Structures are given as structure tokens and as C-alpha cells.
């Protein structure tokens, strides 16, 4: 600590000098504390700045991921709509094919019944022809026997 010039010393008593020296020491401690706190503030500010930058990068990445995810969702929704439209088309085609098959089956049954009817008529005609032939033979035999 720096000593005061001699004429000033004469006016001041020792207690004042001690008080001034203590105050000067307190000021020096306060300056050191301010310097330390300035360093802490500077370091904290730098750390905050670094964290702010990291947060900004993280937010940017998350926004990009969100955009990508939304784009993928849009594409998937479009694909789903296309698949559903295709499914509805296939269902409609299947319904038409089913109706066509039912109609063909109905026609097949009708043809089968008609064929069965013609078969029975044909068999009846064969039976009648056979009976007619037998009658003709008997008639011819009777005519031959009479003549």
C-alpha cells in the first residue's frame, strides 16, 4: 500500500490512516471481485451464446425433420387414396363379375331344364316310334295273313 506524503501524515492520525488503508484494501478486494465477476459474466455469456446457437441448430433440424415427415405423410395419404380408389374399382368389377356369373348360372340352369325336356320328348318319341313300328309290323302281318 502506498504511503501518503509526509505533510498529509501530520494532519491525519494513525486511526484515520488505518481506516483509509482498510478502505483501500476493501476497494482492491471489490475491484478483484468485480474483475472475477466480469470473467464469470463473460464466460456465462459465451456459454449462453453457444447454447443459443446449439438450440437454433436443433430447432432448425427439428423443423426440417417435421417438414420431411409432413411431406412423407402427404405422399402416404395420396398413396392410400389411390389404393382405396383402386380397391373400390376392383370391388365394383368383382360385383359386376359376380352378377354376370349369377346370370350365366341362371341361363345354364334354364338350358339344362330345356335340354332335359327335349331329352324326355325325344325318349317319348322313340318309344312312340318303337310302338308305331310294332303296330305297323302287326298290321302288315295281319294284312299279309288276310290277303
Interval 72-95: pLDDT, tens: 999 999 999 999 999 999 999 999
The answer to the question of residue 1 being in a domain is no
The answer to the question of residue 55 being in a domain is yes
What's the mean pLDDT in 58-72? 97
pLDDT band at 20; cut points 50, 70, 90: confident
Query: Rounded distance, CA 18 to CA 21, Å?
Result: 5
The pLDDT tens digits for 135-145 are 998 888 888 88
The answer to the question of residue 100 being in a domain is yes
The answer to the question of residue 24 being in a domain is yes
Asked if the model's pLDDT at residue 125 lies above 80, the reply is: yes
Kindly state the cell numbers that stand for 15: 486511526
**Least trusted range by pLDDT, from 3-7, 35-39, 40-44:** 3-7
Please give the pLDDT value at position 13.
Answer: 67
Asked if the model's pLDDT at residue 4 lies above 70, the reply is: no
Kindly state the cell numbers that stand for 135: 303296330
With the CA atoms of 117, 121, 126 and 130 taken in that order, what torsion angle do they form, in degrees rounded to the nearest 10?
Answer: 140
Residue 30: enclosing H or E segment and its boundaries? helix 14-146
With the CA atoms of 46, 52, 57 and 61 taken in that order, what torsion angle do they form, in degrees rounded to the nearest 10?
Answer: 150
The answer to the question of residue 11 being in a domain is yes
- Count up the domains in the chain and report the number: 1
Range of the domain at 86: 6-146
Taking the mean position of all CA atoms in its chain, how far away is CA 103?
Answer: 42
Amino acid at each position: 500500500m502506498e504511503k501518503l506524503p509526509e505533510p498529509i501524515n501530520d494532519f491525519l492520525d494513525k486511526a484515520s490512516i488505518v481506516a483509509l488503508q482498510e478502505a483501500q484494501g476493501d476497494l482492491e478486494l471489490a475491484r478483484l471481485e468485480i474483475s472475477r465477476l466480469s470473467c464469470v459474466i463473460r464466460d456465462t455469456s459465451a456459454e449462453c451464446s453457444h447454447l443459443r446457437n446449439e438450440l437454433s441448430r436443433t430447432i432448425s433440424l427439428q423443423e426440417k425433420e417435421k417438414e420431411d415427415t409432413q411431406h412423407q405423410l402427404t405422399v402416404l395419404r395420396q398413396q392410400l387414396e389411390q389404393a382405396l380408389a383402386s380397391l373400390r374399382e376392383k370391388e365394383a368389377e368383382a360385383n359386376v363379375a359376380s352378377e354376370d356369373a349369377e346370370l350365366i348360372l341362371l341361363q345354364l340352369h334354364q338350358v339344362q331344364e330345356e335340354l332335359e325336356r327335349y331329352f324326355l320328348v325325344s325318349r317319348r318319341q322313340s318309344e312312340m316310334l318303337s310302338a308305331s313300328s310294332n303296330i305297323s309290323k302287326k298290321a302288315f302281318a295281319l294284312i299279309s295273313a288276310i290277303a
